[in-house]
Amino acid sequence: MLKTLMAQIKEYKKDSLKTPAYMILEVIMETFIPLLMASIVDNGVEKGDIHHIYKMGAIMVVMAAIGLFAGIMGGKYGAKASAGFAKNLRNAMYENIQTFSFSNIDKFSTAGLVTRMTTDVTNIQNAYQMILRMCMRAPASLICALIMAYFINAKIATVYLVAVLFLGGILFAIIKKTMKYFDTVFRKYDELNASVQENVTGIRVVKAFVREDYETSRFHAASSNVYRMFVKAESLIAFNAPVMQFTVYACILGISYLGAKMIVSSTLTTGELMSLLTYCMNILMSLMMLSMVFVMVTLSIASGERIAEVLNEKADLTNPKDADTVVPDGSIEFEHVSFGYQKEKEKAVLTDINLTIHSGETIGIIGGTGSAKTSLVNLISRLYDVTEGCVKVGGKDVRGYDLETLRNEVAVVLQKNVLFSGTILENLRWGDKNATREECEYACRLACADEFIQKMPDKYDTYIEQGGSNVSGGQKQRLCIARALLKKPKILVLDDSTSAVDTATDAKIREAFAKEIPGTTKLIIAQRISSIQNADKIIVMDDGKVNGFGTHEELLASNEIYRDVYGSQMGGSGDFDENGGEL
C-alpha cells in the first residue's frame, strides 16, 4: 500500500523534502531560545549587565525571526505537497478507473468509488501534511528538549523521562482502541453515499410511490451509523486533553519542587529553572502533537488501503502486442463460446454458442428474462472476454484487435440509455467528436429523432439535463441510436433500444436502417416480434443457449419457443413471459 501511494508524490518530492527541513530549522531555533532566556536572567538581570541583556535579546529576536520564517515556509511547502499529492491520487484513480473493463468495475460499488475519491483522499491529504510537518517537528522538538534538559540538570530531566513514558503509554492505548472504529467508519461512509446516490438517481420513483419518509429513514440510519462510530472514536481521543493536562501540571509541580530545593542549595540557577520549565512544555506538547499525528495516520491507514485497491486494480482487458488496427468487415462468428461473470464453469451464463453472421445482415435476438441476450452481444465489442472459445469480427479474434479500433467499429446502444449534461449536439458528438452539424442531423433523421428536436425551442442547441431527465424515454433512446450511428460502425448493436418507442416509429427506424446503412451488420435485441420479424435471421435465446436460429418463417415452423411468443403477442398479451415479464 505505502509503495503504491508514495508513487503518486511525483513532482512534489522537492516540496515534501523542503517541509521537514524547514520544520527542523524551526525546532532548532526554538530549542536555543530558552537557553538565551536563562542567560539573560542569570548573567544579565541578576548581575545588572544591561549590555548582556541587549545582546542576548537581539540574538533571541533573530532566532525567533528565523524560526518564524521557517515555520511559514514549512506550512507553505507542506500545504503544496499534500494538496498536490491528493490531486495526483485522484487523477491516478480516475485514470485507472477509465481503463477498467466491466468485470473490473463490477468489483466496486459506485458509492465506494465516490468515497475513495473524496473522503479517503482528503484523509490521506491531511495525514500527509501532518507527517511532513508535525511528524518531523514533534520528535525533533522532543529529542532536542530532552538533550538540553539533561545538559542543564540530569536529575530534574528524569522527571521528563517519567512523564514521557507515562503519557506515551496512555496515548498508545487510546490509539490502539480507536483504530478499530476508524477501520469501520469508512464502510459506513459507503452505505451513506449509496443511500444518497440511490435516492437522487431514483427521486422520481421515490415521489411516485410516496416513499420519501422511507428514504429519509434509510438515510438517517446510515448517517447515525457514521455518527456512532465517530462518537466512539472521538470519545476515546478526548482523553488526550485531560491526560495531557494532568501530566503537564504534575511535571511543573515536580520540577518546581526539585528546582526550588536546588536553587536554595545553589546547585541550580533561576534562569536554568525557567529554561527547564520551558523545555517541559516543549516535551509534553511534542507528545501531544505526536498523538494527533498517530490518530490521523491511524485514520488514514484504512483510507490508504481503499485507495491502493483502486490503484492496484489492473484492467483484465488489454491490448495485445502488434494489435490489429483495421476491422475488415462486419461479419461475426461465435465458435464454441462459453462465458461466465465469475469464471467458474458451473456459473456459466453462456454455454457452447456457435453462430455465423455475415457482414451487412440484420439479426434479431429474442429470449426470456435472464436468457443472456445482453451477455451475448457484450462479447462482440469485448466489453467482457469469453471464458472458452472465441468471438471473431471480420474473421479475426476480437482479442487480437486494438480495443479502441474494435469499439469504434462496433457501436452499442446499451439497454440503459445514458445522456450527459450538455446540448443535444454535444451529446451526439460522443459518437464522433468531429461530426458536422449536418452529419448529426442526418443521423437523427435515421433514428427518427430529428422530428422532435425540431420542435424544441433551441433545436440542436437544446440543453440536456444530467441523465437526460428533461427528455422522455423514447426520445432518449432515439438520441442514443443517433449517437451510435455517428460512429459509422461496421456493426450496430441495439440492446432493447426501441422498447420505449411506439411501433410506428420503430418501423420507421428499421426502414431507415435497411435503406441508408445496408452494409452495416445490425443486431437488434427486442421485446416485440414485430421489431425483428423482417430481419434476415433471428436468434432465439433460452437459458444461455441458442435455441433457434433462422428466419421468421423457419422459426415459426420449427421452434416451439418462438411460436409460443408469436402466438402470445399476436393474441394481445405482447409479452414474452407468461407472467408478463420483460423479454
pLDDT block averages, 10 residues each, the chain of length 583:
82 88 86 81 77 87 90 89 89 84 74 80 86 81 80 78 78 74 70 73 77 81 79 76 78 81 79 79 75 73 81 79 84 88 69 88 85 86 86 88 85 78 86 83 85 85 79 81 84 77 76 80 84 85 86 86 82 45 36
Q: What is the pLDDT of residue 484?
A: 84
DSSP 163: H
- Distance between CA atoms of 347 and 577, rounded to whole angstroms? 23
Q: What is the pLDDT of residue 499?
A: 67
Nearest to 327 by CA among 523, 519, 101, 514: 519
Domain span(s) for CATH 3.40.50.300 in the chain: 332-570
DSSP 324: B
Q: What is the pLDDT of residue 222?
A: 77
Strands 422-423 and 463-464: antiparallel
CA dihedral 540→542→547→550, nearest 10 degrees, is: 0
Nearest to 92 by CA among 8, 201, 194: 8
What is the edge-to-edge ordering of all strands in the sheet holding 388-393? 350-357, 332-339, 388-393, 396-397
CB 206 within 8 A of CB 212: yes
Burial class (CB in 10 A: 0-12, 13-18, 19+), 372: buried
Q: What is the largest CA-CA distance in the chain?
A: 120
- Distance between CA atoms of 150 and 239, rounded to whole angstroms? 29
107 in helix, strand or coil?
A: coil
**Cell numbers linked to 422:** 450538455
Length of the chain: 583
Q: What is the pLDDT of residue 69?
A: 92
332-570 CATH pick, 3.20.20.70, 1.10.3210.10, 3.90.110.10, 3.40.50.300? 3.40.50.300
Alpha carbon distances (Å) from 204 to 7, 19, 198, 414, 476? 44, 51, 11, 22, 17
- Distance between CA atoms of 226 and 100, rounded to whole angstroms? 30
316 in helix, strand or coil?
A: coil
Q: What is the pLDDT of residue 128?
A: 86
State phi, psi for 29 to the nearest 5 degrees.
Answer: -60, -45
Alpha carbon distances (Å) from 422 to 201, 419, 480, 560, 568? 18, 9, 14, 47, 42
Structural Rg of the chain based on CA atoms: 35
Query: Does domain 2-312 fall into CATH 1.20.1560.10?
Result: yes
Domain span(s) for CATH 1.20.1560.10 in the chain: 2-312
Rounded to 5°, the CA angle 163-130-120 comes to 125
Q: What is the pLDDT of residue 583?
A: 35
The one-letter code for the residue type at 234 is E
**Cell numbers linked to 292:** 494527533
Q: What is the pLDDT of residue 430?
A: 84
